[in-house]
Amino acid sequence: MNIENKTYQNVIHYIKDLVKTETLKEGDRLPTERKMSLDLNMSRNSIREALRTMETLGLIESKQGSGNYLKSSVGKAFTETLTMMLYMKKINYIEINQVRCAVEIQAFCSVIQDIKEEQLKKLMDRLIALEAATREDESRYDKEFHHELIAMTKNPLMIGIMEALADAFEDGISYNLNHMKEEERQYQRECHRMIMEGLESKNLKKGLSGIKNHYDFIDQALRNNVLS
């Protein structure tokens, strides 16, 4: 392990210990660089570099003139990892899309029986906005529709992972939507409608068919273009 990695690991372990003992909670300000430097017997420059890395990963937030604060952003950290893996060609858009499908199927199954009217209304609002969207805005509204479905689970890990997957997949979504023919766009609208209607009627089979058809279509579109 090189010196930079060792410094980073030492700072991470230091902060993890503070969280584990409940000395530090989400939103709390971290000890000063000077204190960490003394506690860890490291230079302040080394501490500062480690904290910058943690900020990039979404583990802390730096506020000018105030200090560094502990935060939890599964999505940001995971997005950075996924994006780098895409650039290095360790994964591709099809693989990301397949994981998105699996997460959404689990989310649908977990919320269908206990879904509330206000949740259905929010999702319907997203669907109406998506169906009325211009080509330029379609990818944003598509993302919001699927985010609303995942948010119903109130599972922070599932929400964070799906946000990261969607962020990493953003170019794939935009490319796919921008190159759709009108009949393909209509097919995707029908898939979204099936998801919505499946939730409204508590029809598991119908909802899951909508999800699977939606992601299978994207899979095939990706296989037919350069983004795969």
Residue spans of the domains in the chain: they are 3-72, 76-223
Give the confidence band of 41 by pLDDT, cuts at 50, 70, 90: very high
Distances from the Cα of 130 to the Cαs of 49, 101, 139, 188, in angstroms? 43, 19, 9, 11
Q: What is the mean pLDDT of the segment spanning 43-71?
A: 88
Percent of the chain past pLDDT 70, that is, above it, reads 89
Asked if 3-72 and 76-223 have one fold, the answer is: no
Let me know: does 59 contact 73? Beta carbons within 8 Å: yes
What pLDDT sits at residue 73?
Answer: 63
Model pLDDT for residues 116-158, shown as the tens digit of each residue: 999 999 999 999 999 998 878 888 899 999 999 999 999 988 9
Q: Is 67 helix (H, G, I), strand (E, B) or coil?
A: strand
Is pLDDT at 175 greater than 50 in this prediction? yes
**Alpha-carbon distance 207 to 211, whole Å?**
6
Q: Is the pTM of this model over 0.85?
A: no
Helical ranges in 44-92 per DSSP H: 44-56, 74-87
pLDDT, mean over the chain: 88
Say whether pLDDT at 9 is over 50: yes
Query: Span 6-19, mean pLDDT?
Result: 89
Q: Out of 62-66, 74-78, 180-184, pick the least confident.
A: 74-78
Q: Of 215, 164, 214, which is closest to residue 186 (Cα–Cα)?
A: 214
- What is residue 14's predicted lDDT score, i.e. its pLDDT? 93
Give the residue ranges of DSSP H helices in 112-181: 117-132, 135-151, 156-168, 170-178
**In terms of C-beta density within 10 A (0-12 exposed, 13-18 middle, 19 or more buried), how is residue 118 classed?**
exposed
pLDDT in tens, 186-207: 999 999 999 999 999 999 999 9
Q: Which CATH architecture has domain 3-72?
A: Orthogonal Bundle (1.10)
CA distance 14 to 60: 14
pLDDT of residue 228: 44
pLDDT at 68: 93
Measuring CA to CA, which residue among 165, 169, 120, 168 is closest to residue 145?
Answer: 120
- pLDDT at 55 (0 to 100): 86
pLDDT of residue 106: 97
> What is the fold, at CATH topology level, of the domain defined by 76-223?
Four Helix Bundle (Hemerythrin (Met), subunit A) (1.20.120)
- At 78-113, the pLDDT tens digits run 787 888 888 888 999 899 999 999 999 999 999 999
Write the CA distances from 174 to 50, 126, 137, 139, 181, integer angstroms: 35, 18, 9, 6, 14
Judge whether residue 1 has pLDDT over 50: no
- Residue 70 φ/ψ, nearest 5 degrees: -75, 135
The pLDDT value recorded for residue 177 is 64
